[in-house]
Amino acid sequence: MKTQLIGAIDIGTTKICSLIAETDGTGLRILGIGTAPSNGVQKGQVVNIGEAAQAVSNSVAAAEKTAGCRVPAAVISVTGKHVTSDNKRGVISITSNRKQTVLPGDVRRLLQISRSENISPDQAVLHQIPRYYRVDGQDGVKDPVGMHGYRLDVETHTVWASINAIENLAKCVSASGVKIDCLVFEPLASGEAVLNEDEKRDGVLLVDIGGGTSNIAVYKDDSIFYSAVVPAAGNQITKDIAMGLGYSPEFAEELKLRHGSLIPPASLPNKPRQKAGEQEMPPGELFDIINIRAEELIRLIILQIKNDFKDLIDPVTFLPAGMVLTGGTANLPGLVEMAQQITCMPCRVGYPARVAGIADDLCDPAYAASLGLLIWKLQNPDIRYHQQVSPAKARKGFFSRLMRAITGK
């Protein structure tokens, strides 16, 4: 079977990861990996186009050098507080034919009607994912085409993003010489990399805790049910260490990665006091700082979900598969145990499944979103970004500039 190249660029707050892979439509083989420190990005959003564009170019160049080929059109991650989502419903009458059979055109018309309602002119639709259809009251229909009926309903999970934020992101990518294939909301990509089918069916909470944002996705009945962004993550822990112990942010980050833990010091084997620079640092001080911030972060994530769900659900009973933590901060020892204690749900760390090629480094929660972007594209080969914007509501000026930034024309 003929193979083709696909690319992915995960633009995070602390790092940018570019991947080049080849696929025959059924699997992936990683050819190139390139990472670079992320500059010009705060909490998932571009704040300095020049710095961010250079960081993307550095990451892309490293991936191309490893792969020995150019990055093709790439799938790009999107996150930040500007991204919002909701479950929307739509309904139409089946009038396209006398046999009252649902045709593909009926489904497209229904989705377009549902898509164009209540969209702000400064927003673009990133995703419109049908959760289920209903034909004449029959629930749980996954594909209504060919069914007989008079009324067709749908519930979709729709994700919007700020056109300005996307336009800035597109400029950074196009400056590196890479065309944008499509944009993917980061927790949806992470979910493809670390969740199994049973979890998605039963009900699971995915939390991707990166450097600047914590990305949330709830799956239920084999479909995305809820998604959100909390603008707090691992960098908050680093800042607290720097302020509390009087170190530079760079050294505080190194200290967190090397010695950070949520396991109480008394539970650790007796070791000499860790040295930080010229000073001796009691392990208890570092533990106390990380423990306070990590607990606050987990509680903030749960509060966000409860506030959005109101009194509709109890997370514990609604999500029997529990919580899956991924992202770089999920490597913090003891975080799973803390989350399990706070939420009273089963918890585990989400590790991306191993893929072929030079992918050993990708078997780490920090690369869940990066690998998930490729998996998303593999499962949605026909999705293109220009098909996801709603021209009915997006202002012509914003839309045309966005298209020029993406296509380079």
Work out the pLDDT band at 281, boundaries 50, 70, 90.
low
For residue 388, what pLDDT is reported?
Answer: 39
For residue 402, what pLDDT is reported?
Answer: 52
Token digits of residue 158? 């729709």
- Mean residue pLDDT of the chain comes to 86
Which of the pair, 257 or 394, is modelled with greater confidence? 257
Q: Give 402-406's long-range contacts (Cβ < 8 A, gap of 24+).
A: 402/124, 402/163, 402/166, 402/167, 402/170, 405/167, 405/170, 405/171, 405/174, 406/170, 406/174, 406/179, 406/180
Work out the pLDDT band at 282, boundaries 50, 70, 90.
low
- CA dist 297 and 299 (Å) reads 5
- Percent pLDDT > 70 in the chain is 88
Domain ranges within the chain, ordered by starting residue = 84-162, 230-348
Q: Which CATH class is domain 84-162?
A: alpha beta
For residue 199, what pLDDT is reported?
Answer: 96
For residue 313, what pLDDT is reported?
Answer: 60
CATH topology of domain 230-348: Nucleotidyltransferase; domain 5 (3.30.420)
- Percent pLDDT > 90 in the chain is 64
Q: Using one digit for the tens of pLDDT, what is the confidence trace for 292-324?
A: 999 999 999 999 988 887 655 677 788 999 999
Work out the pLDDT band at 395, boundaries 50, 70, 90.
very low
For residue 382, what pLDDT is reported?
Answer: 78
Nearest to 214 by CA among 242, 254, 186, 184: 186
For residue 151, what pLDDT is reported?
Answer: 93
For residue 224, what pLDDT is reported?
Answer: 95
For residue 266, what pLDDT is reported?
Answer: 65
The answer on pLDDT for 400 being more than 60 is no
